[in-house]
Amino acid sequence: MVVARLLSPAEIGVYSITMVLLGFVATFRDMGAGQYLVQQKELTEERIRATWSVQLGLGLALGLVVLIAALPIAAFYNEPRMREIMAVLALNFAVTPFLAFPYAWLSRDMRFGTIATVRFIGSLAHAGCAIGLAWAGQGPISLAWANLLTTVAGILAIWLLAPPRWPWRPTLKGISEVVSFGGKLTLTSLLNTFAGGAPELILGKVQSMVEAGLYSRAIGLVTMFHRLVLDAVNAVALPYFSKQSRESKDLGASFLLAMELVTGLGWAFFTGVGILAYQAIWILYGDQWGEAVEPARWLALSYAISIPAGVCYSPLIARGAATEILKVTCKCTVLVLVVTVFGATANLVTLSQFLAVTSFVSALLWLRLTRSFIPFTGVALGRVWFKSLMLAVGAGLVPLLVVLATGWRSHDIFLTVVISVPGGILGFLIAAWLVKHQVWMELLKMLKTKKLWIVR
């Protein structure tokens, strides 16, 4: 929120494109070693040391690659600031293994309280560094230093809260097993990164850094749900589904439960974003980002459609479907690239509309694959979706009535938000109660637990 007011759309675009490019490199950061550690049924000292060796070796190697690539990439985009940004991020690659390895171990042990604390400390470090340096006029490199400080803060937090006591001596023995498991997942991650970053990369080349920056802010608003909810869900989902798979439990019921919770929250969130996109962007980023409003609305629809596909990934990994995941990812990536090329040469709104269509097709492919590995019926899935749609209707009713009365781009932003947000939350809760949604059941559990804790 603050940095968007301190940096211009062009400055945001420079950093955004740099991060998209480095996102391709980041997919190779541990070659799936962290996921290997989480899902492995039996861990030996050899496997632990092999996992650490893969992460450390790749971190150092990729840091060197990024440093070497900084000059030609900056020349390609005719943007010298990218060179300094990549130099800082190269150092971040080199130190990341000292955070990633213990983080994977904590995930396997399902120590999510410690993980949450570490992430929170990192977030505070990132915000403080980014705002401070941007305020001092350092430009887009402020965000690069913030990323590095986040990693360092996370490493220090882990050593203070949960000091690692594992074998740290690197080894060559067992590395092939780690890489064999993670290779397909890494390629899958690379394709996802490529598909996700293609719009900004193409916009930055065929349009300008301004269009890339506008898209970055629009997608930044929409992906708040992923940062606030799905990142937390995914941190729990893989260890949870892997544990259930090891214990031969019914993954179908767990999958439907996860689908109901995530779609219930996600569809309500994206409904609110779609209706209040102008007010949200004005409040979060400032009036200089007005051209990002319409793309944000279509991207909200796109991400809402893609939520069911996002729920499929973790249980499929837990069932060992790495090859099948890679095949579906390839199909989805090709589709996104084709659509992006045509959309980006037109305008941001057209591109965002095209991406909504690709999300629909991708969701169908993912659900079809999941049904071949996870036992659930179409009727049960439809029942879950209906309940979640009711939550979206409840959450969007009051905001929709307000913007229809005041205008989609009303300058009375304070009044619109003060009425819409509480009204949307109330409508969401009423709908959750009426349809007995799992979100409502979880709220009741939380209140009951809190009450018992207070009594004790």
Those residues whose C-beta lies under 8 Å from the C-beta of residue 233, and which sit 6 or more positions away, are: 258, 261, 262
Q: Are 104 and 51 in contact (CB under 8 A)?
A: yes
- Tell me, what's the pLDDT at 246? 62
Q: The tokens 């340096």 sit on which residue?
A: 133
Q: How many domains does the chain have?
A: 1
Find, among 260, 346, 368, the residue nearest to 311 by Cα.
260
Considering the domain boundaries, does residue 145 fall inside one? yes
Instruction: Return the ∠ at Cα 168 (arms to 162 and 172), rounded to 5°.
Output: 145
- Tell me, what's the pLDDT at 6? 84
In this prediction, the residues of the chain whose per-residue pLDDT falls under 50 are 455
Q: Are 267 and 392 in contact (CB under 8 A)?
A: yes
Q: Are 275 and 399 in contact (CB under 8 A)?
A: yes
Distance CA 197, CA 410 (A): 32
Q: Are 298 and 355 in contact (CB under 8 A)?
A: yes
- Tell me, what's the pLDDT at 450? 62
Considering the domain boundaries, does residue 49 fall inside one? yes
Distance CA 414, CA 417 (A): 5
- Tell me, what's the pLDDT at 35? 66
What does the DSSP assignment read for 425-442?
Answer: HHHHHHHHHHTT-HHHHH
- Tell me, what's the pLDDT at 452? 55
Q: Which two tokens stand for residue 97?
A: 């293994």
Handedness of CA 319, 324, 328, 330 (dihedral sign): positive
Q: Are 247 and 320 in contact (CB under 8 A)?
A: no
Number of residues in the chain: 456
- Tell me, what's the pLDDT at 401? 94
Containing domain of residue 5, as a range? 1-191
Distance CA 2, CA 133 (A): 12
Distance CA 12, CA 212 (A): 8
Q: Are 389 and 371 in contact (CB under 8 A)?
A: no
Q: Are 270 and 328 in contact (CB under 8 A)?
A: no
Instruction: Return the ∠ at Cα 313 (arms to 312 and 319), rounded to 5°.
Output: 95
Considering the domain boundaries, does residue 315 fall inside one? no
Q: Which two tokens stand for residue 402?
A: 């307000």
Q: The tokens 């095949």 sit on which residue?
A: 327
Name the maximum alpha-carbon separation found in the chain. Answer: 68
Can you tell me whether residue 280 is helix, strand or coil? Answer: helix
Considering the domain boundaries, does residue 29 fall inside one? yes
Q: Which two tokens stand for residue 199?
A: 């719009």
Q: Which residues of 247-332 form beta strands (DSSP E)?
A: none
Q: Which two tokens stand for residue 429?
A: 């809760």
Considering the domain boundaries, does residue 443 fall inside one? no
- Tell me, what's the pLDDT at 32? 63
Distance CA 397, CA 406 (A): 14
376-380 long-range contacts, Cβ below 8 Å, gap at least 24? 376/252, 376/255, 376/256, 380/256
In angstroms, the first-to-last Cα distance of the chain is: 40
Considering the domain boundaries, does residue 81 fall inside one? yes
Burial of 171 (0-12, 13-18, 19+ CB in 10 A): middle
Give the Å distances, CA to CA, from 369 to 32, 328, 364.
Answer: 21, 8, 9
- Tell me, what's the pLDDT at 436? 92
Find, among 266, 223, 221, 277, the residue nearest to 403 by Cα.
277
Considering the domain boundaries, does residue 201 fall inside one? no
Say how many CA atoms lie within 13 Å of 55 toward its Cβ.
Answer: 25
Distance CA 350, CA 352 (A): 5
Distance CA 307, CA 289 (A): 26
Distance CA 442, CA 258 (A): 12
Q: Are 114 and 106 in contact (CB under 8 A)?
A: yes
- Tell me, what's the pLDDT at 235? 66
Find, among 331, 330, 314, the residue nearest to 373 by Cα.
314
Considering the domain boundaries, does residue 124 fall inside one? yes
